Amino acid sequence: MIRRRDAAILAFLFLCGLAAAWQFAKWNDARFNTPERVAQRLVNSSLKDDLCKRVIADISRFKEAPRTFRRTSLQSIENESRAGLRFLLKSKGVPEDFPIEYKGEKTPYMACLDDVQTWVNIPSAGSQSLADELAALDISNESVRGKTSSASAVPSTEPGRLALIIGNSKYRNRPLLNPQNDADDMSTFLRRSGFTVIDLRDGNLKDMQAAISDFTEQLKSARAGFVYYSGHGVEHRGWNYLLPVDVQINEEDDIPRQALDASTLVESVSKAERKVNIFVIDACRSNFIPSRQRSASQGLAKMDGLSGTIVAFSTAPGKEAEDGNGRNSPYTKSLLQAMAVPGRKIEDVFKDAARKVEIETAGRQIPWYNSSLLVDWSIH
Amino acid sequence: MSFNINPPDWLRWILLPVASIGTYVVANFLVGIVGSLLDFLSRSPWGSNFSTHVVAPGIAGYSAIAVIDSVAPAGRASAALAVAGCWMFVFGAATFFAFLNPSWATFLPIIFSVVGLVNGLMGVNDSNRQLVPL
């Protein structure tokens, strides 16, 4: 048996431990919970909650009116949040001159990353580009992909979705403004939608062939392939060619030697046994061939793929496409907006994009696509 | 083959708290692992929570004091009481922090560690064995 005196000593020491811990907690509280720190924590938590609420509210409004709703920019939403919180924080004892700046985790959107992912896909009325907004959010694709939510319409990361994105702007003759931006934005979008992306910017013929070779090799183990080309393209004797940036065409017979045969690309990619192959060619923005040497009509020729393939052009066969005055070409801008709607079938995406481009260009440009898909498929 | 290690007394006194803490940690870990394994193999209805939060801390608390019997060079009962007192101080502090975020998973190990500790202390007090060299 334990002696009564020993039991009393043990009980006393137990209480001493309790008291010491209590004193330590008080000291720690006095040290770390200064009024400034308390106010900053309040600001951080309020900003986090409010920003997420605003993002979720925007998503709801977008779902109610997907065709008309435009979200504001990231900067605007943060400014609105700060202004709205000023009174609330003052009522909670935060001094009026205390700066409402988030000084917490990496991003105040950590609690609603999935929603933010959906939100940035909503067409924006703000001046910030998608790439700038993503940079401002400081959210990596991996951190977004690491979290999933059944409640929100976040793109799924289906294994085996591979994309090849080519953007050629810096041509020796007739450089273009937007293909690089188009390719960047398309690449960002597809990455966020779960694609593994092979990127090529301003590639010469060798680079393009290497990228396509790499793509077709990796595609063997993929279930869906997406090829996007933005740059100059020409039709020559019924065949379509994608032009590398170093192309130097003096006569039309130079085209097959210096350019990439689009039909061969489509055939080689769509031969493999996959459910879905998508080719988007935003080319033919202005005729690249000097008119005195031009025998073919302007624009590209029709192209067909094997079964399970969609071939989409930024304009109808034989017509020219516009490069656009903004950051993106009209076709890519419309396509990105149409693709951002979650759960939409890919055919509906191209139809919607075509309608938007037709309206924007007052009928001068009517996108065209040819589908032989055997299954329903969506980007998200 | 036998080991007859007989370190000097001063070293034994120094080793006393180390042995107690080490025994508590190792016993807690090993019994927790064995308990979880047995629960898994026998599909026990108690689940691994019983062994992890009740049995392991109990045995660890007992062992932390029982080891004093072997390590203390003299005055084992007093040494065990002193070490038990230190442990009680620690568990008292742990109880305070457990109250900050109360849940059965934080309270049960503390309670059963104290129970094991007191049992170990009773064993040492009742012991009339001679000091055995390490």
Contact A2 B114 (CB under 8 A): no
Q: Tell me whether residue B132 is in a domain.
A: no
- Tell me what ipTM this predicted complex has: 0.85
- For residue range A10-39, list pLDDT tens digits in order: 999 999 999 999 999 999 888 888 888 888
CATH 3.40.50.1460 fits A155-371, yes or no: yes
Q: How many domains does chain B have?
A: 1
Q: How far apart are CA B68 and CA B120, in angstroms?
A: 10
Contact B81 A13 (CB under 8 A): no
| Residues 6+ away with beta carbon under 8 Å from A246 | A172, A204, A205
| Residues of chain A positioned with their CB less than 8 A from the CB of B80 | none
DSSP letters spanning B29-67: HHHHHHHHHHHHHHT-TT-HHHIIIIIHHHHHHHHHHHT
Which stretches of chain B score pLDDT less than 70? Answer: 1-5, 43-47, 125-134
The residue in chain A having the minimum alpha-carbon distance to the alpha carbon of residue B95 is A18
Give the domain extent around B101.
Answer: 9-121
* Chain A contacts to B (CB-CB under 8 A): 1-3, 6, 9-11, 13-22, 24-25
CB-CB contact of A262 with A284 (8 Å): no
Contact A18 B93 (CB under 8 A): yes
Contact A10 B86 (CB under 8 A): no
| Residues of chain A positioned with their CB less than 8 A from the CB of B113 | none
Q: Tell me whether residue B71 is in a domain.
A: yes
Determine the pLDDT at residue A153. 32
Q: Tell me whether residue B109 is in a domain.
A: yes
- A contact test, residue of B62, B65, B91, B96 with most A CBs within 10 A: B96
Which of A17, A19, A25 is facing B91, going by the closest CB pair?
A17
Q: Tell me whether residue B47 is in a domain.
A: yes
Determine the pLDDT at residue A104. 77
Give helix A179-192 / helix A330-339 axis angle, nearest 10°.
10
Q: Tell me whether residue B127 is in a domain.
A: no
How many A-B residue pairs are in contact by the CB < 8 A criterion?
A: 62
CA atoms within 13 Å, Cβ hemisphere of A8: 3
DSSP letters spanning A30-60: HHH--HHHHHHHHHHHHHHHHHHHHHHHHHH
Domain limits of chain A?
Answer: 1-28, 35-143, 155-371
* Chain B contacts to A (CB-CB under 8 A): 81, 84-86, 88-97, 100, 114, 118, 121-122, 125-126
Instruction: Select from A116, A238, A231, A114 the least CA-distant residue to A182.
Output: A231
Determine the pLDDT at residue A344. 82
Q: How far apart are CA A53 and CA B56, in angstroms?
A: 46
Which of B81, B93, B122 is facing A21, going by the closest CB pair?
B93
Which of A2, A17, A21 is facing B118, going by the closest CB pair?
A2
- For residue range A305-358, list pLDDT tens digits in order: 567 788 888 887 767 777 667 778 888 888 888 888 877 888 888 988 888 888
The residue in chain A having the minimum alpha-carbon distance to the alpha carbon of residue B89 is A17
CB-CB contact of A282 with A182 (8 Å): yes
| β-sheet with A224-230: strand ranges across | A196-201, A161-167, A224-230, A276-282, A309-313, A368-371
Fill in the DSSP letter of residue A378.
B
Which stretches of chain A score pLDDT less than 70? Answer: 1, 67, 105, 125-159, 271-275, 284-306, 318, 323-324
The residue in chain B having the minimum alpha-carbon distance to the alpha carbon of residue A20 is B93
The residue in chain B having the minimum alpha-carbon distance to the alpha carbon of residue A10 is B85
Contact B118 A1 (CB under 8 A): no
Determine the pLDDT at residue A274. 60
